[in-house]
Amino acid sequence: MTRTTALKVLAGKKLTDLDPDEWAKAQASAERILVDVGTGDARTAYRQAIAHPEWLVVGVDPAWQRMTETAVRAARKPAKGGAPNLVLVSSAIETVPAALHGVADEVMVLMPWGKLLRGVVLGEADVLSGLRAVAKPGAPLEISIGTSIWREPIPLEIRDLPELTPETVVSTGLTDRLAALGWQVADVRLVPHTDLDTISSSWARRLGSGATETVLHLRAVAVDPRDPVGTQHPAAESAQDTPEEPQRDV
């Protein structure tokens, strides 16, 4: 881990540089590190941090102002709802600081939009490489995208994006692009809106109220780039066991 660039993190309502020694200590004492990319209001990350005090949960989003309410809550004493194991980083994933490289035991992308959505749907190198950069070898990447974004009225800025389904993930070449950049796809499935509660996302909750939302879940495992077999990681080996036909739940 580099100690040259400090992470820009939320301390209450303000952005500050995280002391590299403090960052090193936080990592060393964590049983598991979960990185939530595109964390938004960071409520999902906060809930994970509270549920797993032995973990370090890192929320990453360039729109840091949206994270301030959660950052203020997390800064309280633990008895009053504080979460000292939550770190909220201001950054886009394609320019993620070196201090976050190789730290994640799990990477999560919930209900992305903007550049993050385009990056994962089109398999753009800067976004996929950024996601890969934060992951430890063998770490899972869990992506959830609400499929209603492909129903009318479709926002102008995503009209050119192909709809992702378990079939198009393969046919558009996304699986290959992910593999080329170090992500071996392990599972792709559609989850009906009735299971939305299992996706701890503020955004999904908002969509879930009476909506007939179906969510596309994509699970991939961090392998060496251009190592489509991925035999060196146990998690990737189990990915190989999944049937060639992607699973469909609906």
Ligand X SMILES: C[S@@+](CC[C@H](N)C(=O)[O-])C[C@H]1O[C@@H](n2cnc3c(N)ncnc32)[C@H](O)[C@@H]1O
62 near ligand X (CB under 6 A): yes
Q: Which stretch binds ligand X (CB under 6 A): 25-33, 105-113, 157-165, 233-241?
A: 105-113
C-alpha dist (Å) from residue 228 to 100, 140, 223, 237: 25, 15, 8, 11
Residue whose Cβ sits closest to ligand X: 40
38 near ligand X (CB under 6 A): yes
Rounded distance, CA 142 to CA 140, Å? 6
120 near ligand X (CB under 6 A): no
R_g of the chain, CA atoms, integer Å: 18
C-alpha dist (Å) from residue 238 to 1, 48, 95, 137, 230: 29, 26, 31, 14, 10
- Judged by CB, which is closer to ligand X: 55, or 203? 203
DSSP conformation class of 27? H
- Judged by CB, which is closer to ligand X: 30, or 143? 143
Rounded distance, CA 104 to CA 55, Å? 11
Kindly identify the residues of this chain, within the stretch 74-103, that bind ligand X according to CB under 6 A: 92-94
Rounded distance, CA 94 to CA 83, Å? 27
201 near ligand X (CB under 6 A): yes
Rounded distance, CA 63 to CA 114, Å? 11
106 near ligand X (CB under 6 A): no
116 near ligand X (CB under 6 A): yes
Among residues 26, 68, 113, 138, the one that binds ligand X under rule CB under 6 A = 113
- Judged by CB, which is closer to ligand X: 113, or 150? 113
Among residues 55, 61, 88, 179, the one that binds ligand X under rule CB under 6 A = 61
| Site residues for ligand X per CB under 6 A | 37-40, 44, 60-63, 66, 92-94, 110-116, 201-204
